[in-house]
Amino acid sequence: MRSLSAPRRHDFEPPLSAPRRMAEPPMTATRPAYAAPAAAATPRHAVEPPVTAPRRMADAQPQPQSQPQPRRPEAPAAAPFAAAPFTAAARPVPAAAVAPAPMARRDPAPSRWAYRLQRIMLTPHLRALLRFGLPSFVVLAAVGLYLSDDARRGAIVQVFTDIRQKFEHRPEFMVTLASVEGCSKDLAEAVRARLGLNLPQSSFDLDLAAIRSRIEELDAVKSAELRVRSGGILQVLVTEREPVAVWRTAEGLTLVDDTGHRVAGLYARSDRPDLPLIAGQGADRATAEALQIFAAAGPLLPRVRGLTRMGERRWDLVLDRDQRILLPAEHPVRALERLLALDHAQDILSRDLVALDLRLDSRPTLRLTPYALTELRRSKGLKTVETDL
């Protein structure tokens, strides 16, 4: 009963009366409770009949020992340097050294499992995993669960599609008109038909490159430029192919440009008498050379019927009176110029020739008509045995 101490010396009375006095208010104020061991207190109260219920409860409850001694606070033993070392030694001596403690004080030491748990939680990998891995896993799992439904996924996609649609179909971006410029009216009609657009249409939906290649598929179109002008106009600038020659084939007449590309078909040669005529297989691929030959033919032009491509290799210049000038595969223009010089000097083309072979540079060869040939032989006094044929 060491906690049953009386505050003043002469107030000491037999212990039987002590509980009654301590129930008085001032006593309880100075000493809020006392920590007599229940086992020690019980026999005393057993011999004391008039005990009030509250007192018995106060006695029966073992109070923590630290409570009646507020002036000596017990610092938690494990506080990291809560006090200077020497004062730290002033804390209660080890439990082993204390006389058998009446009350079990809370052990500041962690239990083995608490200790182990703390160590596990301090493991760096685990900490990283808990800090970053777990939240990201939870977020991913939530997102995955949400998106696992087809309808939800569709709805999300729909929202974005709608926004995009709304933006693209604003009036600023709509193309309402297509204007085709830089070509004849017929070609413009053809180009317009070729565009195949159902206007108005958003300019985001227009594939200009595809449209351009589609237009350029037309034979008569050399190149096309497309641009979307402000005001919703799709401007198509077309460059037409210029026909420079008429190419006669077995199928019919074709207009070709200087690269030999087909421009259009032609019903009759008389529709384009201004263009020179070329013929023969592969003539279109050598159109440029043909044009050079025509340009060099100068004074011969009124007599020229056309050029025939021979063996996809060289040209024959066909004149009227069924005369042919066989040009070499290499440097036909030069050979033609030499012929013109010869013609100028000796008036050779007006003679009675069938063909003039210029294929060998150093030896132009004439083929006379049969009549001319016999006349020539006769004049030289040669007798032949063959017939006129």
Partner 1 sequence: MTDLYQTQRAMRNMRRAAMQRGVIAILDVGTSKIACLILRFDGEARLREQDGVGPMAGQSQFRIIGAATTRSRGVRFGEISVMNETESAVRTAVQAAQKMANVRVDHVIACFSGAEPRSYGLAGDTDLADNVVTEQDVARVLAACDVPDLGHGREVLHAQPVNFALDHRTGLGDPRGQIGNRLACDMHLVSVDGSVIQNLLYAIKRCDLELAGIASSAYVSAISSLVEDEQELGAACIDMGGGATGVSIFMKKHMIYTDSVRMGGDHVTSDISKGLQIPLSTAERIKTRHGGLFATGMDDREMIEIGGDSGDWDKDRRQISRTELIGIMRPRVEEILEETRTRLDAAGFDHLPSQQIVLTGGASQIPGLDGLAARILGQRVRLGRPLRVQGLPQAATGPAFASAVGLCLFAAHPQDEWWDFEIPAERYPARSLRRAFRWFKDNW
Interface residues with partner 1 (CB under 8 A)? 1-6, 8-9, 12, 68-69, 72, 77-98, 107-110, 112, 114-116, 118-119, 122-124
Q: Which is nearer to partner 1, 125 or 170 (CB)?
A: 125
Q: Which is nearer to partner 1, 98 or 199 (CB)?
A: 98
Q: Are 91 and 75 in contact (CB under 8 A)?
A: yes
Q: Which is nearer to partner 1, 93 or 151 (CB)?
A: 93
Nearest approach in angstroms of CB 82 to partner 1 is 8
Q: Which is nearer to partner 1, 117 or 376 (CB)?
A: 117
Give residues with Cβ within 8 angstroms of 246, minimum separation 6. Answer: 253, 254, 255, 256, 266, 269, 272, 275, 276, 277, 278
Q: Which is nearer to partner 1, 8 or 185 (CB)?
A: 8
**317-340: burial string, b at 16+ Cβ within 10 Å, e else:** bbbeeebbbbbbeeebeebbeebb
Q: Which is nearer to partner 1, 108 or 154 (CB)?
A: 108
Nearest approach in angstroms of CB 118 to partner 1 is 6
Nearest approach in angstroms of CB 10 to partner 1 is 9
Distances (CA, A) of 334 to 154, 264, 297, 316: 75, 32, 11, 14
Nearest approach in angstroms of CB 3 to partner 1 is 7
Q: Please report, as a single letter, which amino acid is at residue 254.
A: T
Residue (of 365, 298, 284) closest to 333 by Cα position: 298
Residue (of 195, 159, 157) closest to 179 by Cα position: 195
User: How many CB atoms neighbour CB 353 within 10 A?
Assistant: 19
Nearest approach in angstroms of CB 61 to partner 1 is 19
Q: Which is nearer to partner 1, 124 or 144 (CB)?
A: 124
Nearest approach in angstroms of CB 134 to partner 1 is 18
Task: Please state, in angstroms and rounded to a whole number, the distance separating the CA atoms of residues 299 and 318.
Answer: 14
Q: Give bridge partners of residue 307 from the DSSP assignment.
A: 278, 317
E strand or H helix at 225:
strand 221-229
Q: Which is nearer to partner 1, 74 or 271 (CB)?
A: 74
What values do phi and psi take at 358, rounded to 5?
Answer: -105, 15
Nearest approach in angstroms of CB 41 to partner 1 is 14
Sequence-ordered strand ranges (E) for 320-373: 324-326, 353-357, 365-368
Nearest approach in angstroms of CB 129 to partner 1 is 14
